Structure 1
């Protein structure tokens, strides 16, 4: 790892009144950065204390720690300078950082160990400190301008070894929150370094987040778990998708009581897990305490089930209902049950499956909200074109049910319901007091349908392309590369691998292009009988044509290669030019 780069600045020499006395020789800065203590051996102690950089107010000890390589750190300079000038141990820079803060932040475990040992030596022979706290613990507990201790700094960077030594050396200190409202345990629970986690999974080892949480919970006797806005470390873990493999199990083991703790919005950890779609986290929380899913938030009285339904997470909805069936009928402050939300956010297939296979969900189909709108009112208002795809004959429902404005489901389906649709649109953009970062509800895009006019405009061009590919493929099969043997009519290149690949690719192009033509043939009667039709068949014909194009390119490349193989260079160039078609397709797809 390369040394941390810092801006070299002229450092003034300050007197006792803080006035600039003279400029520090730039060589001192370079010597400290390189770990060379020779220039400082003959200096007086008070002079070394006053060697500070102009802006950051870093001492030579700060400079050395910042400049040290993490993978090859040396403690020699630190030991020699502290031997000569012990006061630098607790001297802070402009940000309030002690050398320990910086060593913890940059993960210099050996330097951290030396600093703590040096602080312990300073106490030997002294009387019991007036505060009752040893000097080395005072150093560990010192906070900078952001109210971060060295432990905060170590956790923020995922420096596990430093976290372990700091928690072992001062196990009884609870560590308060910093300026951002975060304690070290909260920071460890929310820490997410994806490369570290993936590497841990591949190498079958634990992640930094897990190791830090473990060290804090096992080494500290009174560790605090608070975070910003009333959150706890368990909230932080529930928001992280990887936490179920890292911090979450250990937190539940040691601090199970946090599962029902709410933040300033009234959200429990399971609220966050459901909102962010962390299915495995929801599953683990329900296994620990299923009753946590009954808790509603403060603003909208929404449970985790409402949130999962609002985000369109069918799997989490089913898990919550199966784990705690009692919560299925709970309503929010608008009187909406979870099915009202599901009607907006679920896929058609998910809705149909929910209503057909879950009797609890099916029983809510005619339950009205505070305005009398049933889930069917919502479906008809927001997704009228998909209404009958969802409501098949097996689902019994009252289409004549009316709301408090005397508007029936049937009326909404036939004429729309602007007021209800606009209300749902607002929910999709409402972030509340900031807890709904992606809106209260996710509106599922209505599946597009192709009109008769749309189809007629595209059908002719699609048919021409598909028919042309079929024609070319058919002709290529009988005008093969290399020709035939006159005596028996067999292909001259029949044993050539490239020729064999040509025949296979040409056959595939032929089949796919004819499939595209046949699909258009099937759609023709449907377009005459219905005003709108599902574009599934049109999509199928398009993909058939695309695959036929790809197969035709491969046929061209392999056939050309089979004939030009005696001129290998030309054959390779021709193949590369032909295969550039696929690069073009990928590029266009990414636009």
Structure 2
């Protein structure tokens, strides 16, 4: 049998597979089994059952040239209902049968999302989870290489043991299992596995710790790699780190109410928080296990320079904080052509990492003073511009951001370094000016385009509000020229909102009026952004909101006699764009503070 061959020869080449298929195909009756094959792929149980009743041997026979049984075919075709039905008739020993690709039926089922089909196979033959393919991989590894279905991984992990022939948690495939499990983001499942088999926490290769190496490339799996961690829903989400696969999840009353109203979106928030906290916990466990080895040479290679570089350049402060907590000397790690941790953080604009290092003031000052092989100071590194750091807000705001960053790093650096020239004979400020020339030019064009568009809107608002002030709702008294609705409170709201909209739109126009020459320096750009562009955008926002309020008040005055609740209905509709507009994230860049 193929399964017996796999135990004696766990590895087989692709040429060997082709040879086995070719030899089997010579005597294979393709036309006979074709109706059965097609019926299974279509999910047609009646035709499948009729064929098997007519020929019971077909249940255990190889019905394809790849040596697959009917159960294999159903699994490959993702016909999970047929898998469950065929298992009832299939002998238990046949569930461990391998096809010519080296896979059991469970290997294929594990790549899907039907946990019920897996449960049916395991109930029939519990040892099926231990069978490996020709490369020594169990179905558990297959579940991590395809859809990465959480419930599927949990179930297979709980029903797979570290026994021969695979020895998935201590054998040759253990490193790949750990890497795949960590990359999948199921860090709570990884923690569960490491608590059962602590030696997996310190498994490593030529690149150092396998788990840390994978985690250092996944910034989104940590709180520091996400901006929404300060949101109310994220803070409210309850997380049980000790939750087992068979334990039902129960949140608090408030959270359950939110989840009932918003459904899957709130579940994604909770899952993200669970992943973040589990990643931190996993990192702590790995470092604690490594520190228990009490071997400096071991953990020096265990936490490789690549891991330090990846975590620093991606801004994963959690890995760095825990790393320096267990191995303080690693803060002095120097990476060729990149520098120390603080130099890498500066080049990649990772202010969170610099804040972490600033909690070690003496070490931070010593690292900042380092000069590289090209005589570049820390300020020189901050002066460089990288296209990877471009802001999504536009070139003009990027100039301000770059200037803020350079000024803050200058404060960290020694004052004497301002006059230090690198191997190209340039000071840090000269490098900054030269490298940002193109960005300043792009910023000029960007400001001009945005200003023209905003001026058009501001002009329209000013024109409309001016006309509305002259031709007020309801008209004027022909004898005295006084507005008919003058004594109504709604008229007060209308006229005040109209005046505010007019003056703010005029103020916005003044801010957006083009100068004869745009700024040619980075400092000039910062002034424009602070005092003209940002102020103009906010003036325009206020004018839009005030115009909407004025229109609502005017319309309610005209319709109140015919529609009694006009003010309520109109106000509800008017609130929608106002709330959206006031919630917009207008360019209001936070001032960078590294200390």
CA distances 1:407-446 after superposition (whole Å, capped 9, x unpaired): 68x635425799xx9xxxxxxxxxxxxxxxxxxxxxx999
CA distances 1:426-483 after superposition (whole Å, capped 9, x unpaired): xxxxxxxxxxxxxxxxxx9998688789868986886676466346435535643223
CA distances 1:258-307 after superposition (whole Å, capped 9, x unpaired): 23323565451222112121212541222212255996789x95342310
Report the count of equivalent residues. Answer: 465
Tell me the equivalent position of 2:262: none
Q: For the residues of structure 2 that align with 1:18 and 1:338, how far apart are their CA atoms?
A: 60
Tell me the equivalent position of 2:68: 97
Structure 2 spans left out of the alignment, 5+ residues: 1-23, 223-275, 292-297, 387-401, 586-595
Tell me the equivalent position of 2:287: 290
Q: For the residues of structure 1 that align with 2:100 and 2:500, how far apart are their CA atoms?
A: 69
* Residue 388 (structure 1) aligned to one of 403, 406, 422: 406
Q: How does 1:15-26 map to 2 (within 5 A)?
A: none
| CA pair 175-472 structure 1, distance change in 2 beyond 3 A | same
Tell me the equivalent position of 1:67: 42
| CA pair 503-83 structure 1, distance change in 2 beyond 3 A | farther
1:81 aligns with 2:48: no
Partner SS state of residue 216, structure 1 = coil
CA drift at 1:316: 5.2
CA distances 1:32-63 after superposition (whole Å, capped 9, x unpaired): xxxxxxxxxxxxxxxxx95737xxx6451x33
1:328 aligns with 2:331: yes
CA drift at 1:156: 0.7
| CA pair 333-541 structure 1, distance change in 2 beyond 3 A | same
The normalised TM-score by structure 1 is 0.60
| CA pair 314-244 structure 1, distance change in 2 beyond 3 A | same
CA distances 1:340-362 after superposition (whole Å, capped 9, x unpaired): 22112225x54764565453444
| CA pair 362-238 structure 1, distance change in 2 beyond 3 A | farther
| CA pair 561-388 structure 1, distance change in 2 beyond 3 A | same
1:238 aligns with 2:241: no
CA distances 1:479-498 after superposition (whole Å, capped 9, x unpaired): 432236789856279577xx
Q: For the residues of structure 1 that align with 2:332 and 2:433, how far apart are their CA atoms?
A: 25
Q: How does 1:32-181 map to 2 (within 5 A)?
A: 50=29, 52=31, 58=34, 60=36, 62-68=37-43, 77-78=48-49, 81-82=52-53, 84-105=55-76, 111-120=82-91, 136-137=92-93, 139-168=94-123, 169-171=125-127, 174-177=130-133
Task: For CA contacts below 8 A with separation 6 or more, give which structure has more relative contact order.
Answer: 2
Q: For the residues of structure 2 that align with 1:108 and 1:228, how far apart are their CA atoms?
A: 32
CA drift at 1:389: 2.4
Partner SS state of residue 475, structure 2 = coil
Q: How does 1:182-581 map to 2 (within 5 A)?
A: 183-190=138-145, 192=147, 207-216=151-160, 224=168, 231-241=175-185, 243-244=186-187, 247-263=189-205, 265-266=207-208, 268-277=210-219, 278-279=221-222, 280=276, 282-290=279-287, 301-313=304-316, 317-318=320-321, 320-321=323-324, 325-334=328-337, 336-346=339-349, 350=352, 353-354=355-356, 356-359=358-361, 360-368=363-371, 373=376, 375-382=378-385, 385=403, 388-393=406-411, 396=414, 399=417, 411-415=427-431, 466=458, 469-470=461-462, 472-473=464-465, 476-477=468-469, 479-483=471-475, 491=485, 494=488, 506=498, 509-510=501-502, 512-513=504-505, 516=508, 532-534=524-526, 536-537=529-530, 538-544=532-538, 546-548=540-542, 550-551=544-545, 554=548, 558=552, 562=556, 563=558
Q: Is the 8 A contact 1:170 1:220 kept in 2?
A: no
Question: Over the residues paired in the alignment, what is the CA RMSD in angstroms?
Answer: 5.6
